[in-house]
């Protein structure tokens, strides 16, 4: 079993069936034996994207995410004080606050992150793509 954290764009591309999602990541997400984590920070980011019109859900985001958690066997990763504290020591290679929190979570939880974002390569985390 593989466990990993999904970056926001990875999750969006999976939901949309977007061809930019790598075959490797799609297979990992679809494998019911893997533990797929979605950070609460990703849900927060998706909510903001919806509120400014960058992403549209067919139903309230709470309902949509709850359905996706069940349908795709995703698990939510809460934000802890340890994760927040981890941000304070991260170099500023990446300035996006959502991604910085995802990076801190991946580091502290010692889990890989599924992301095509090359800026993540500057940190001591394992990226899957």
At 41 the pLDDT is 96
pLDDT of residue 56: 84
Return the residue matching tokens 């985390």. 125
Tell me the CA distances in angstroms from 128 to 5, 23, 69, 70, one per residue in order.
10, 11, 21, 23
Three-state secondary structure call for residue 70:
helix
- Phi, psi values for residue 29, rounded to 5°: -65, -40
Mean of pLDDT values over 4-11? 95
Select from 3.40.50.1360, 3.90.76.10, 3.40.50.1010, 3.40.190.10 the CATH code of 3-128.
3.40.50.1010
Query: 40-51 vs 8-16: helix axis angle to the nearest 10?
Result: 70
- Collapsing DSSP states into helix, strand and coil, what is residue 97? helix
For the chain, the structural domain boundaries read 3-128
pLDDT for residue 81 = 97
What is the value of pTM for the model shown? 0.90
């Amino acid at each position: 079993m593989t466990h990993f954290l999904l970056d926001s764009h990875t999750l969006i591309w999976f939901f949309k069936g977007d061809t930019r999602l790598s075959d490797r990541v799609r297979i990992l997400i679809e494998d019911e034996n893997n533990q797929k984590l979605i950070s609460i920070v990703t849900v927060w980011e998706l909510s903001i994207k919806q509120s400014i019109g960058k992403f549209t859900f067919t139903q309230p985001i709470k309902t949509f995410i709850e359905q996706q958690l069940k349908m795709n066997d995703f698990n939510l990763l809460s934000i802890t004080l340890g994760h927040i504290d981890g941000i304070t020591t991260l170099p500023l290679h990446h300035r996006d606050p959502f991604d910085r929190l995802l990076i801190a979570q991946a580091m502290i939880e010692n889990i890989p992150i599924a992301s095509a974002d090359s800026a993540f390569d500057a940190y001591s985390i394992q990226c899957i793509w």
